[in-house]
Structure 1
Protein backbone atom coordinates (compact mmCIF):
# COMPACT_ATOMS: atom_id res chain seq x y z
CA UNK A 1 0.00 0.00 0.00
CA UNK A 2 1.63 3.19 -1.22
CA UNK A 3 -0.15 5.44 1.31
CA UNK A 4 1.11 3.45 4.28
CA UNK A 5 4.69 3.54 2.98
CA UNK A 6 4.49 7.31 2.62
CA UNK A 7 3.09 7.63 6.15
CA UNK A 8 5.83 5.39 7.57
CA UNK A 9 8.51 7.57 5.91
CA UNK A 10 6.85 10.66 7.36
CA UNK A 11 6.80 9.13 10.85
CA UNK A 12 10.53 8.39 10.67
CA UNK A 13 11.50 11.71 9.09
CA UNK A 14 9.60 13.87 11.56
CA UNK A 15 9.92 11.50 14.54
CA UNK A 16 6.15 11.44 15.02
CA UNK A 17 4.24 8.79 16.95
CA UNK A 18 1.65 6.91 14.89
CA UNK A 19 -1.16 8.02 17.18
CA UNK A 20 -0.11 11.68 16.93
CA UNK A 21 -0.03 11.42 13.14
CA UNK A 22 -3.50 9.88 13.06
CA UNK A 23 -4.92 12.59 15.30
CA UNK A 24 -3.30 15.42 13.34
CA UNK A 25 -4.00 14.07 9.85
CA UNK A 26 -7.46 12.60 10.29
CA UNK A 27 -8.69 13.01 13.85
CA UNK A 28 -8.25 9.25 14.33
CA UNK A 29 -5.45 8.13 16.67
CA UNK A 30 -5.86 4.51 15.49
CA UNK A 31 -5.42 5.38 11.81
CA UNK A 32 -1.84 4.15 11.35
CA UNK A 33 -2.37 1.08 13.51
CA UNK A 34 -5.46 0.18 11.50
CA UNK A 35 -3.66 0.77 8.19
CA UNK A 36 -0.85 -1.50 9.35
CA UNK A 37 -3.48 -4.14 10.08
CA UNK A 38 -4.97 -3.96 6.59
CA UNK A 39 -7.51 -1.12 6.75
CA UNK A 40 -8.07 0.36 3.31
CA UNK A 41 -8.80 4.09 3.45
CA UNK A 42 -11.55 5.44 1.23
CA UNK A 43 -10.96 8.15 -1.37
CA UNK A 44 -11.86 10.99 0.99
CA UNK A 45 -9.50 9.72 3.66
CA UNK A 46 -6.71 9.27 1.11
CA UNK A 47 -7.25 12.87 -0.05
CA UNK A 48 -7.20 14.11 3.54
CA UNK A 49 -3.99 12.25 4.40
CA UNK A 50 -2.32 13.29 1.14
CA UNK A 51 -3.19 16.93 1.77
CA UNK A 52 -1.76 16.70 5.30
CA UNK A 53 1.46 15.07 4.12
CA UNK A 54 1.90 17.52 1.24
CA UNK A 55 1.39 20.47 3.57
CA UNK A 56 3.85 19.15 6.18
CA UNK A 57 6.50 18.46 3.54
CA UNK A 58 6.08 21.93 2.05
CA UNK A 59 6.35 23.52 5.50
CA UNK A 60 9.55 21.60 6.23
CA UNK A 61 11.14 22.88 3.02
CA UNK A 62 10.41 26.46 4.09
CA UNK A 63 12.30 26.05 7.39
Structure 2
Protein backbone atom coordinates (compact mmCIF):
# COMPACT_ATOMS: atom_id res chain seq x y z
CA UNK A 1 0.00 0.00 0.00
CA UNK A 2 1.27 3.44 -0.86
CA UNK A 3 0.41 6.61 1.03
CA UNK A 4 -0.72 9.37 -1.33
CA UNK A 5 -2.22 11.84 1.11
CA UNK A 6 -2.95 12.45 4.77
CA UNK A 7 -5.43 9.61 5.12
CA UNK A 8 -5.40 8.29 1.57
CA UNK A 9 -3.78 5.12 0.43
CA UNK A 10 -3.47 3.43 -2.93
CA UNK A 11 -2.99 -0.30 -3.29
CA UNK A 12 0.03 -1.06 -5.43
CA UNK A 13 -0.85 -3.31 -8.32
CA UNK A 14 1.85 -5.74 -9.31
CA UNK A 15 1.86 -7.88 -12.39
CA UNK A 16 1.41 -11.54 -11.63
CA UNK A 17 4.23 -13.82 -12.65
CA UNK A 18 3.65 -16.34 -15.41
CA UNK A 19 3.45 -19.12 -12.84
CA UNK A 20 0.95 -17.19 -10.72
CA UNK A 21 -1.23 -16.51 -13.74
CA UNK A 22 -1.03 -20.16 -14.76
CA UNK A 23 -2.03 -21.32 -11.27
CA UNK A 24 -4.92 -18.85 -11.29
CA UNK A 25 -6.12 -20.21 -14.66
CA UNK A 26 -5.80 -23.79 -13.48
CA UNK A 27 -7.61 -23.18 -10.18
CA UNK A 28 -10.44 -21.43 -12.03
CA UNK A 29 -10.67 -24.38 -14.45
CA UNK A 30 -10.69 -26.93 -11.61
CA UNK A 31 -13.58 -25.14 -9.89
CA UNK A 32 -15.56 -24.46 -13.06
CA UNK A 33 -15.44 -28.03 -14.35
CA UNK A 34 -15.16 -29.93 -11.06
CA UNK A 35 -11.89 -31.59 -12.06
CA UNK A 36 -9.42 -32.82 -9.44
CA UNK A 37 -5.87 -31.51 -9.44
CA UNK A 38 -4.47 -34.99 -10.07
CA UNK A 39 -6.80 -35.62 -13.02
CA UNK A 40 -5.89 -32.25 -14.51
CA UNK A 41 -2.18 -33.01 -14.20
CA UNK A 42 -2.59 -36.41 -15.83
CA UNK A 43 -4.64 -35.02 -18.72
CA UNK A 44 -2.41 -32.05 -19.47
CA UNK A 45 1.17 -33.12 -18.77
CA UNK A 46 0.93 -36.78 -17.71
CA UNK A 47 1.97 -35.80 -14.17
CA UNK A 48 -0.60 -36.23 -11.39
CA UNK A 49 1.49 -34.04 -9.05
CA UNK A 50 1.76 -31.14 -11.50
CA UNK A 51 -0.80 -28.83 -9.84
CA UNK A 52 0.45 -29.62 -6.33
CA UNK A 53 4.01 -28.91 -7.41
CA UNK A 54 2.97 -25.59 -8.99
CA UNK A 55 1.24 -24.62 -5.77
CA UNK A 56 4.52 -25.34 -3.97
CA UNK A 57 6.68 -23.21 -6.23
CA UNK A 58 7.48 -25.36 -9.25
CA UNK A 59 8.34 -23.25 -12.29
CA UNK A 60 6.95 -24.82 -15.46
CA UNK A 61 8.89 -24.70 -18.70
CA UNK A 62 7.42 -22.40 -21.35
CA UNK A 63 6.35 -25.34 -23.53
CA UNK A 64 4.58 -26.95 -20.56
CA UNK A 65 2.80 -23.71 -19.76
CA UNK A 66 1.72 -23.37 -23.41
CA UNK A 67 0.44 -26.96 -23.44
CA UNK A 68 -1.63 -26.36 -20.29
CA UNK A 69 -3.10 -23.12 -21.65
CA UNK A 70 -3.92 -24.85 -24.96
CA UNK A 71 -5.66 -27.68 -23.08
CA UNK A 72 -7.77 -25.23 -21.08
CA UNK A 73 -8.70 -23.21 -24.18
CA UNK A 74 -9.51 -26.34 -26.18
CA UNK A 75 -11.61 -27.83 -23.39
CA UNK A 76 -13.58 -24.62 -22.93
CA UNK A 77 -14.09 -24.23 -26.69
CA UNK A 78 -15.33 -27.82 -26.88
CA UNK A 79 -17.76 -27.20 -24.05
CA UNK A 80 -19.11 -24.07 -25.74
CA UNK A 81 -19.77 -25.84 -29.05
CA UNK A 82 -21.39 -28.76 -27.20
CA UNK A 83 -23.72 -26.41 -25.33
CA UNK A 84 -24.46 -24.34 -28.45
CA UNK A 85 -25.66 -27.37 -30.43
What TM-score, normalized to structure 1? 0.96
3-state SS in 2 of match to 1:16: coil
After superposition, the CA RMSD in angstroms is 0.6
Bigger RCO of structures 1 and 2 (CA < 8 A, at least 6 apart): 1
Structure 1, unaligned runs of 5 or more: none
3-state SS in 2 of match to 1:41: coil
What TM-score, normalized to structure 2? 0.72
Corresponding pairs, count: 63
Structure 2, unaligned runs of 5 or more: 1-19
Superposed structure 1 runs of 4+ greater than 4 Å apart: none
Bigger Rg over Cα: 2
